[in-house]
Chains A and B, each alone.
Chain A
Amino acid sequence: MIPYAAAIGSLMYAMVCTRLDIAHAVGVVSRYMNNPGKQHWKAVKWIMRYLEGSSETYFSFIAGGLKLEGFVDADLAGDVDSRKSTTGYIYIYIYIYIYIYTLGGTAVSRSSTLQKIVALSTTEAEYVVVSESVKEIVWLQSFLKELGKMNG
């Protein structure tokens, strides 16, 4: 027996915590959990090889003024088997030094999932992403307000 599910579970924990860079890849291989094929196991091992080459990657926060910004995107029919599209959004803390210049950012919340419906156009796929990501920002805003970090 090849420990397909166990391997994905181990990768998923790293993905959720600090390794956002493998989010899409883990999302793709986990679609084949109930009947994995040879090429899927190869893809899992590929992710591990990627991790091996980048095991010293950190998730880092730095001092500075904070601003929360969000980015969204979608593909159309990214999953070749079901023709479903992929949702992707990310909220990052942007560090502001002198008003205009921003220097990098740190992701505080992000998601990359297969959409539940089959979108018929790129526009429809984008609408689905916007709706999903706004749900998250509403929560984030209410939380920051409670911490006294939001004006108005």
Chain B
Amino acid sequence: MLKTWELTTLPEGKKALQNKYVYRVKTEHDGSKWFKAGLVVKGFQQKKGIDYFEIFSLVVKLTTIKVVLGIVAAENLHLEQYVKTTFLHGDLEEDIYMQQPEGFAIQGKENQVCKLKKSLYGLKQAPRQWYKKFDNFMCSSGYTRCQADHCCYVKHFDNSYIILLLYVDDMLIAGSSIEEIDKLKQQLSKQFEMKDLGAAKQILGMRIIRDKDKGILKLSQAEYVKKVLSRFSMDNAKPVSTPLGIISSSAKTSHQKLS
């Protein structure tokens, strides 16, 4: 048991949140699929000032990613990807009750509800609680949070350094020394449940293609573009060589309605 909740009777005046299961098929960079099932809380039933006080979800700026990837390619650094497997780790500051998950109600205690101890997927405060915990950990491990982007952490060693980028529960670790990176990974996996994806292959739907011998790092969205084109049935259209073709005359004078 992860000790995510404990069973209690619902105190008067409190409401228990409903929950549901979410099933998803995830596609990996190599095309393989895996099935994911998870319990989420219906966070939209939460009321501000009662069930949550502050919400905040921090994501790294795209420019930050590009600046760091540029440095990675320029200095031929290692680039590793690490993913957090569960969102359960944030601690909760509020009292939140949830109905027992369907099919898993404990016999004889069907009328009781779960009092949450850790934040679950779907809760409004889950991303913030996770970030707070992660930030605490990174700062106490000697990393500096960048003022320019709070999702970027740096630590300088004698003759190497590590840059860590956090994208909610996905992280990119760049550094010149694989030993220091491994050390950081060990520390991280001691604290949180993590999955090591090895060399980074995908970030925000962009493929990362690397040729370390030639010193090239490429970002590609070829798959995404193909998907978009087929969604709008344009995958067999005649290609053109310029991005902007027709709009040249004043749009107001020659406005033809779209049907």
**Interface residues, chain A, CB within 8 Å of chain B?**
2-4, 7, 10-11, 13-14, 16-19, 21-22, 24-25, 28-29, 32, 35-43, 45-56, 58-66, 80-81, 93, 95, 106-109, 139-140, 142-144, 146-149
Cβ contacts under 8 Å, B258 to chain A: 2, 4, 36-38, 40-41
Partner of B71, one of A21, A42, A149: A149
With A25-B244, A143-B67, A146-B154 given, can you name 20 additional A-B contacts, CB distance below 8 Å?
A14-B228, A17-B206, A19-B221, A28-B244, A29-B247, A40-B251, A43-B246, A43-B247, A46-B246, A48-B232, A59-B219, A61-B72, A62-B217, A63-B75, A66-B71, A108-B66, A143-B64, A143-B152, A146-B146, A148-B154
Question: How many chain B residues have a CB neighbour from A under 8 Å?
Answer: 67
B216–A22 CB distance below 8 A: no
B239 touches A49 (CB 8 A): yes
Please determine whether A46 and B62 come into contact, CB atoms closer than 8 angstroms.
no
A10 touches B228 (CB 8 A): yes
Q: Identify which of B144, B206, B218, B257 contacts A146 (C-beta below 8 A).
A: B144
Q: Is the CB of A49 within 8 A of B74?
A: no
B259 within 8 A of A: yes
Decide if B240 touches A59 in the complex (CB within 8 Å): no
Asked if B66 and A109 make an inter-chain contact with CB atoms under 8 angstroms apart, the answer reads yes
Are B224 and A24 within 8 A (Cβ)? no
Distance of A113 Cα from B209 Cα, bound (Å): 30
Q: Which residue in chain B gives the minimum CB-CB distance to A106?
A: B70
Residues 210-221 of B, flagged 1 when their CB comes within 8 A of A and 0 if not, give: 000011111111
Contact B243 A81 (CB under 8 A): no
Known: A25-B244, A53-B241, A147-B163. A37 touches B215 (CB 8 A): no
Using CB atoms and an 8 Å cutoff, list the residues of chain B in contact with chain A: 62-64, 66-76, 144, 146-149, 152, 154, 156, 161, 163, 204-206, 209, 214-222, 224-226, 228-229, 231-232, 234-235, 237-247, 249-252, 254-259
Q: List 30 A-B contacts (CB under 8 A).
A: A13-B205, A17-B219, A18-B206, A19-B221, A28-B247, A32-B251, A37-B254, A37-B256, A37-B258, A46-B245, A47-B244, A49-B238, A51-B229, A52-B239, A54-B239, A56-B220, A58-B209, A58-B220, A59-B220, A63-B76, A63-B215, A65-B74, A66-B70, A81-B252, A95-B74, A142-B147, A143-B148, A146-B148, A146-B154, A147-B67
Q: Which of A13, A17, A37 contacts B257 (CB 8 A)?
A: A37
B residues near A81, Cβ cutoff 8 Å: 250-252
Chain B: minimal CB distance from A134 (Å) = 15
Q: List A contacts of B229 (CB < 8 A).
A: 48, 51-52, 55
- Pick the contact of B218 from A46, A49, A60, A143 — CB < 8 Å? A60
A-B pair count, CB < 8 Å, reads 193
Q: Given A48-B228, A61-B216, A143-B64, does the pair A38, B257 have CB atoms closer than 8 Å?
A: yes
Q: Are A61 and B234 in contact (CB under 8 A)?
A: no
